[in-house]
Amino acid sequence: MRMKYIVFFDDKADSSVNLVGGKGWGLQKMTQLGLPVPFGFTITTDTWREFNERKEIWPELLSEIKQGISQIEERMGKKFGDVDNPLLVSVRSGARYSMPGMMETILNVGISKEIIPSLSKSLGNEKYAWDTYSRFIKMYSQAVFNIHKGEFDLLPKTESISNEDLSVLYENYIKNKYSKVIPESYEEKLITAIKAVFDSWNSHSAVGYRQMNGIPNDLGTAVNVQAMVFGNRENSGTGVLFTRNTISGEKGLVGDYLENGQGEDIVRGASERQTLSMVELENKHSEIYKEIKEYALLLEKNRGNVQDIEFTVSQDDTTYILQSRDITGLE
């Protein structure tokens, strides 16, 4: 009997952290607790080892990935590649040990110009839809084409440039300078994104990080494919927090919340906009604070350790937990 290549977040059997990575293990545990986690699946580290030998996505793995997408579609009530009711997914790395910023993440996979009108309705404004598309171009280009996202920030543009024109500027840049074009096929976008995240385990930065931190090179990384929820619109946002002060160990939420942002904006420090502290979040958005505090305390109690949590307040006013990991050494 051949191994399974993917594990769903709601799988009732506990998976080992070595198999699904730290992020996947956390997503599975939070889903089992009944927390609001966008649905998805983890492609295992065992699958990475086979991919590392083959250097391509093979038919049996592709079949399971398609089954995984079908399950996300069913849960979210959306369709991947559908123009009228589109499902977008994130593709994130997730190794056994946390390696912040060393491997690739691609958000908004499945977006295209054709779905901008329906996404505009969902997000409540066309500018947010085009913002989502321009973010995808930058992330995809870095992960798949090895074009650093910083290059896009250096392109000459006026202060009044629209998000739509910004997307066109980015597309023309990668086409004219690098002779690269993002594929039109939704399936090809997904598969090339997964391959890029798998390959990022062997990137120069990731290898160097493991050498410095004594992490074995043969562990590999899992890949988490998860339904997107959007914080980059009015009255939405994204945040990161610790359930205690990491210096003193004092109980209480400590972190930052970025209004109208997506996860990578704050995790990688990609935004120049001012974030709100947890105290400011409580004062300005008391209901969001109350909800996230409830989830945070539940996670710390369940895990028995201080938690590092990422969350998003989405377009449907739901607070979703995107990640929670243990921080040890605090009392």
C-alpha 157: how far from chain center = 28
Residue 1 belongs to a domain:
no
- Count of domains for the chain: 2
Domain co-membership, 171 together with 261: no
Q: What is the pLDDT of residue 80?
A: 97
Domain with 279 in it: what CATH number? Answer: 3.30.470.20
The two three-digit tokens of residue 304, written as one number: 């028995």
Domain co-membership, 180 together with 243: no
Domain co-membership, 222 together with 241: no
Residue 118 belongs to a domain:
yes
C-alpha 179: how far from chain center = 27
Contact assessment for residue 307 and residue 324, using Cβ atoms and an 8 Å cutoff: yes
Domain co-membership, 264 together with 160: no
Q: What is the pLDDT of residue 330?
A: 47
Q: Which of 194, 227, 260 is the last residue of a domain?
A: 227
Residue 185 belongs to a domain:
yes
Taking only the tens place, the pLDDT of each residue in 78-101 is 999 999 999 999 999 999 998 988
Domain co-membership, 179 together with 73: yes
Residue 287 belongs to a domain:
yes
| Helix axes of 17-32 and 45-54: crossing angle, nearest 10 degrees | 140
Domain co-membership, 63 together with 208: yes
Q: Which residues of the chain have pLDDT under 50?
A: 330-331
Q: Domain range holding 25?
A: 6-227
Domain co-membership, 17 together with 68: yes
209-230 burial: b if 16+ Cβ within 10 Å, else e: bbeeeebeeebbbbbbbbbbbb
Q: Which of 227, 260, 280 is the last residue of a domain?
A: 227
Residue 307 belongs to a domain:
yes
Taking only the tens place, the pLDDT of each residue in 31-46 is 999 999 999 999 999 9
Domain co-membership, 257 together with 191: no
Domain co-membership, 115 together with 172: yes
Mean pLDDT estimate for the chain: 91
Residue 315 belongs to a domain:
yes
Taking only the tens place, the pLDDT of each residue in 201-212 is 999 999 999 999
Residue 232 belongs to a domain:
no
Q: Closest Cα partner for 296 from 283, 285, 309?
A: 309
The two three-digit tokens of residue 134, written as one number: 């321009």
Domain with 85 in it: what CATH number? Answer: 3.30.1490.20
Domain co-membership, 221 together with 286: no
User: What sign does the dihedral 205-206-208-209 (CA atoms) show?
Assistant: positive
Domain co-membership, 22 together with 140: yes
State how far the Cα of 278 lies from the Cα of 256, in Å rounded to an integer: 6
Q: Which of 196, 227, 258 is the last residue of a domain?
A: 227
Q: What is the pLDDT of residue 262?
A: 66
Domain co-membership, 103 together with 148: yes
Residue 108 belongs to a domain:
yes
